Chains A and B, each alone.
Chain A
């Protein structure tokens, strides 16, 4: 597909920015990093425009790039030290009120980066197991096992009311 005009690409940025930013913030838990991740992802989308089949698919492509870029950040050896989660409280209350939103972020912060990404992409972005696997560059089996492990941790943090006991890796 021919490269977009500046106006066309600006339109895509404006339309997709809020949704991508929300995903990025849930993935990273830090506003500045989230902004950088979305900027990087959209810039990569611009540079790889030939891979975008049609304009309507561009936002979806940008979302995959975002997840993929986040995964590459997570693979950096120093990533754990950069995460703001290191500075968060040791643990949320054992059974936080379900309406207590900060408890959700605190609980997410206890997850390993890949577990957190799997949770956000599946339960916020509603991606299928296969799409999450493609976006993160991991196998479907890994997505399922990471989901299962993440839900166990979240249940411990948020309680059964939010993450019921029978919830496992079957969610597709």
Chain B
């Protein structure tokens, strides 16, 4: 008895002007979603592999928990050794600090490391609390929105950015971790963007924030409010410190966001994927869905500007960075901080159990 209703609905639908299909944009979004799924699986696998059971490390430097701290030495140690966490223990430069909450991720700033923590070690799970820890171990809370999102930090600044679309608009927020003050809130779009997170990922470099939108990356000058679409970035997913990667098969062009000028080129093995270092000077590549990849494959570090590559044999998947560009490698009950383009490493042992989180590594999925 609803035939007339069906007819009217079909007449209405039949009268529509159908816009052309944006096939390229759909493919790009599809690849992005697929990449996110792969990333999720990879993180799950490596997280499982990185759970450490209690044990005692020998033959390597142990951390002091409560020695008197020289600020200059602490800053040098932080820059060269970075930060990592094992369970509820945070290792920061030469120090070891107990953490009550589960640690989700570690982000570098020029004022220290920002610890993202909560009731679960999963960044997707529950509320996140952000805490700045200075190189001397002083803690201060950062009061910023804390749901499932990917914030942008830079190792040479004290500001970080995140996006928010809880009110149906895409907004970019910039926050100073030292003063704990919101510096800017810029409306980018009058509608939300579908990305799989509560809000799209962002990246920051000084006065500029980039936020992922449907056509690619949108550039926002948070001081002036000026907004522009960066052309030809629909297929770009890796972006750090003002540099982005354009994937051309196994050769990735690295460009500057400011003017889209080519900065360098990274050549990778077929089927491998790469992440930037926090300062954008290096990338490190790993097998991503490669059949028969070894359990602990080598990690390749690529100097973006020089175009050179160094193999860190058997370094595996559990890798991070120090603020000054050393590669962090989890190796049993030690973390090695290695020169990016040589095999010179310093070794740091840890005690404790739980999930390992390395500074400068992505844990959002």
Asked if A and B bind, the verdict is: yes
**Partner-B contacts on A (CB < 8 A):** 3, 6, 9-10, 13-14, 17-18, 21-23, 25-26, 31, 35-36, 39-40, 42-47, 78, 81-82, 98-99, 101, 104-105, 119-120, 123-124, 126, 151, 154, 158, 161-164, 166-167, 171
Task: Give the distance to chain B from A157, nearest Cβ to Cβ, in Å.
Answer: 11
Whether the Cβ atoms of B1 and A164 lie closer than 8 Å is yes
Which of A31, A43, A161, A167 has the most chain B CB within a 10 Å cutoff? A43
A46-B34, A101-B15, A104-B12 are known contacts; what are 16 more A-B pairs with Cβ within 8 Å? A25-B13, A25-B16, A31-B19, A42-B30, A43-B30, A46-B26, A46-B30, A47-B31, A47-B33, A47-B34, A78-B167, A78-B168, A101-B12, A123-B2, A162-B8, A167-B2
- Chain B residues touching A, majority SS: helix
In the docked arrangement, what's the CA distance between A163 and B9, Å? 12
Q: Are A39 and B1 in contact (CB under 8 A)?
A: no
For the complex, what is the distance from the CA of A115 to the CA of B190, rounded to whole Å?
Answer: 27
Q: A43 touching B26 by the CB < 8 A rule?
A: yes
- Pick the contact of A35: B19, B31, B166 (CB < 8 A): B19
Report whether A22 and B194 are in contact in the complex, using a CB–CB cutoff of 8 Å: no
**Nearest Cβ in chain B — how far from A8, in angstroms?**
11
B33 to A123, Cβ gap below 8 A? Answer: no
Residues of A contacting B5 in the complex (Cβ-Cβ under 8 angstroms): 119, 123, 154, 158, 162-163
Least CB distance, B69 to chain A, in whole angstroms:
47
A40 close to B29 (CB less than 8 A): yes
User: Would B30 and A167 count as touching, CB distance under 8 A?
Assistant: no
In the complex, are the beta carbons of A39 and B22 less than 8 A apart? Answer: yes
Cα A85 to Cα B11 with chains together (Å):
20
Contact B15 A36 (CB under 8 A): no
Question: Interface residue count for B (Cβ, 8 Å)?
Answer: 36
Instruction: Tell me which residues across on chain B come within 8 A of A126, comparing CB atoms.
Output: 6
A126 to B3, CA, bound (A): 11
Flag if B13 contacts A22 (CB, 8 Å). yes
Contacts of B34 in A (CB 8 A): 3, 46-47
Distance to closest chain B CB from A136 (angstroms): 17
Q: Are the CB atoms of B11 and A101 closer together than 8 Å? A: yes
Q: Is the C-beta of B295 less than 8 angstroms from some C-beta in chain A?
A: no
Chain A CB within 8 A of B344 CB: no
Query: Which residues of A lie under 8 Å from residue B29 when comparing CB positions?
Result: 39-40, 43, 46
Most chain B CB within 10 A, of A42, A47, A124, A166, is at: A47
Tell yes or no: B21 within 8 A of A by CB: yes
Q: A36-B194, A104-B12 are in contact. Are A13 and B21 (CB under 8 A)?
A: yes
List, in ascending order, chain B residues with CB within 8 A of A17's CB.
Answer: 18, 21
Determine the chain A residues whose CB is within 8 A of the CB of B166 once the complex forms.
78
| Also in contact, A123 and B1, with CB within 8 A (given A46-B31, A46-B34) | no
Residues of B within 8 A of A21 (CB): 16, 18-19
Taking CB atoms, residues of chain A closer than 8 Å to B37 are 47
- Set B12, B14, B214: member contacting A105, Cβ < 8 A: B12
Output the least CB separation between B213 and chain A (Å).
12
